[in-house]
Structure 1
């Protein structure tokens, strides 16, 4: 498993890029993607603003697990949807290991 700071550098820019189109493509059928986007934006902001110490993301990851049903994608999920949930799950796991 990658260290969390590496995950932030590799995954966070991709998740940031992918979550907005995800809301447009799947928001009507899966309104939870709007909350996923909001939570991620908050997490991303915290990480950017706390470069010298680890950001406290416990509550955001806790809610993210609830909102995403433990990162379970719906049956009609596209590759981007699946990729976002995979990156978020790996971020969560890496964060909680450190």
Structure 2
């Protein structure tokens, strides 16, 4: 599976979860607002057929400290970071 296929399979989930986690965890983890913003840019680029995604994934790795799941994370936050990490890896493959 390549990054584009993975994005197409997981976009609905990631779109929903990146919105939801801003509400659930944004007060204690303000970096999540940045994660949502970067994901929106990734969506825009994927949908436009662009492949220059390195900058966005570098931003995600920085914002999430290498996709480290916070101790107080809910299942949605953990899954969001796991899916983003998989998408990142596939984009670099």
Same fold (TM over 0.5): yes
Bucket of the pairwise TM-score, normalised by the shorter protein: over 0.9
CA displacement 1:9-44 (0-9 Å, x = unmatched): 111221011111100000000000000000000010
**Distance in structure 2 (CA, Å) of the matches to 1:77 and 1:60:** 23
Task: Tell which deviates more after alignment, 9-18 or 21-30.
Answer: 9-18
**Distance in structure 2 (CA, Å) of the matches to 1:57 and 1:3:** 14
Normalising by structure 2, report the TM-score. Answer: 0.96
Instruction: Say whether 1:71 aligns with 2:60.
Output: no
CA RMSD of aligned residues (A): 0.9
Say how many residue pairs are matched.
93
Alignment of 1:78-97 (within 5 A): 78-97=74-93
Alpha-carbon contact 2:4-2:46 (below 8 Å) kept: no
Equivalence for 1:34? 33
Unmatched tracts of structure 1, length 5 or more: none
SS in 2 for 1:90: helix
Q: How far does residue 4 in structure 1 lie from its aligned partner after superposition?
A: 1.1
Normalising by structure 1, report the TM-score. Answer: 0.91
